[in-house]
Amino acid sequence: MKQPRHHTFTATIEQKIKSGAYPPGHRLPSVREIMAQYRLSATTVQSGYEHLVISGLVESIPKSGYYVSGTQPVISIPPPVVERDATYLHKLSLITSRHAGRHASTAFNVAAPGDLLIPQKLLLRTMQQVIREQGASLLRYDAPTGNASLRQSISLHLSQHHTMVHADELLITDGALQALYIALAAVCRPGDVVAVESPCVFSVLEVLQVMHLQVLEIPAPFQPDALEEACGRLKARAIIVTPNFHNPTGALLPDAGKQQLLAIAEKYNVPVIENDVYGDLHFTGQRPSNLKMFDRQGLVLTYSSFSKTLAPGIRLGWLAPGRYYKEAEQVRFSLGSAVSPVYQAMVQKLLATGSYQRHVRTFRARLARNAAVTQQLLAAHFPQSTVFSRPEGGYSMWVEMPAGTDMQRCYEHFTPGYNFTLTASFRHCFRLVFAEPYTPARKAAIQAAAQLYR
């Protein structure tokens, strides 16, 4: 079995820890020292230390370094070696609060509403209500396609924004990522080329790789010439887009752009998989239209989720697969039973009573304030040459530093740009998520990051 590249130094550190040469509390060499000694990249060294942290041998203390753990695990029988993908583990850590360690409260890397923005009382009260009303029926299997009343409520919710999808055309899924997987499995086969916007979220890239699909990155925001080439000469089998408040850039594709994108897809008969998870989170005016609204041939497979608008723990999404419903329904069935009946009943009640709509109005206003504060902080404290997006919805902002900037010191709180591509691009960029209320500590964290480049 081929050893990961970081094994050249992690094996030495492990041996010295287990032999007692490095006692508990001993400060280990810095990332820069390891890079120079072993001629490794920063990413490889960080992956190695991540491996040592996961094994329990090493602790990471933010702004201080890596230290031998105070207590070492006692293992009487060596466990079997489990191969882990170091690059995957490293990138995964950069989109979770665990990456921030003790500074999770000042992290800007998790694309989900923070605890203070989650409507906890509303969700718990509604959950208690549906349990009292429906009792033991919530403990049974539900239809693989999802609760009929919930699908009807989602259909009505969409129609209020001029998107007509019949309840029987909807599939309820275990979150947005499962909806994406189902959509891809319905229209693609291993080896097919799939066009994605670049930068693109890590989770989408990971799904494509796991499904053995070829990734074709085209620049975001949408560029007609690039998409025309992808569909024509490069034979893309599907297109994945987030036209409403794209993650990570926050960009909104105007209606004219959406119609032009759909026209190209129709010209080459290429399915479009539309991520609309942020569509309800517009800051001003009316909700932006989605591609599904303009679709007349059934080419668009639109999906969304309530994890981004209610709470990340509510793993409940939906997929409107258009002309590919038959294939998508079979894939959905193959993935097992339906989403938790309790969650389905709760979300259905929130939609039917208008509670969801009232919550989202408040949530949007708070996100808009957060976005304004973020822009003020970036403008006031980061170098004048810094470029950042000004989203009109969602909660992601894309920040571009001058080319050649060493971003490693800044990634304690933000998600690095290289996490959003399979290429060597965006190494001078990062994503900033503003889904938490601003506290003095959160403002100070942005100011401290800016000082590194002053």
Q: Contact, 313 vs 337, CB < 8 A?
A: no
Region 14-29 average pLDDT:
87
Q: What percent of the chain has pLDDT over 70?
A: 90
pLDDT of residue 107: 76
Of 319, 279, 452, the closest CA to residue 381 belongs to 452
- Sheet of 238-241, strand order: 171-173, 317-320, 300-305, 272-275, 238-241, 193-198, 214-219
SS3 271: coil
SS3 382: coil
Can you spell out the DSSP letters for 200-241?
Answer: --HHHHHHHHHTT-EEEEEESSP-HHHHHHHHTTT--SEEEE
pLDDT surpasses 50 at 76? no
Question: Which element (helix H / strand E) includes 431?
Answer: strand 429-433
Q: What is the mean pLDDT of the chain?
A: 89
- pLDDT: which is higher, 138 or 307: 307
For 301, residues 6+ apart whose C-beta sits below 8 A from its C-beta are 183, 186, 187, 271, 272, 273, 274, 319, 320, 321, 322, 324, 328
Count other C-beta atoms under 10 Å from residue 324's C-beta.
21
pLDDT in tens, 408-424: 666 667 888 988 999 88
Which pLDDT band holds residue 104 (cuts at 50, 70, 90)? low
Region 372-386 average pLDDT:
93
pLDDT of residue 143: 84
Which pLDDT band holds residue 74 (cuts at 50, 70, 90)? very low
Question: Which element (helix H / strand E) includes 263?
Answer: helix 255-268
pLDDT of residue 102: 43
- Cα 294 to Cα 49: distance, rounded to the nearest angstrom: 49
- Cα 265 to Cα 207: distance, rounded to the nearest angstrom: 22
pLDDT surpasses 60 at 257? yes
pLDDT of residue 80: 63
* Residue 195: strand pairing partners: 216, 239
- pLDDT: which is higher, 144 or 196: 196
Q: Contact, 446 vs 378, CB < 8 A?
A: yes
Which pLDDT band holds residue 15 (cuts at 50, 70, 90)? confident
pLDDT of residue 454: 64
* Residue 66: strand pairing partners: 60
Range with the poorest average pLDDT among 68-77, 131-140, 215-224: 68-77
Of 12, 14, 93, 82, the closest CA to residue 46 belongs to 93
pLDDT in tens, 214-248: 999 999 888 889 999 999 999 999 999 999 999 99
Q: At what angle do helices 355-381 and 341-353 cross, to 10 degrees?
A: 90
pLDDT surpasses 80 at 39? yes
Q: What percent of the chain has pLDDT over 90?
A: 59
Region 5-15 average pLDDT:
87
- Cα 453 to Cα 51: distance, rounded to the nearest angstrom: 30
pLDDT surpasses 50 at 24? yes
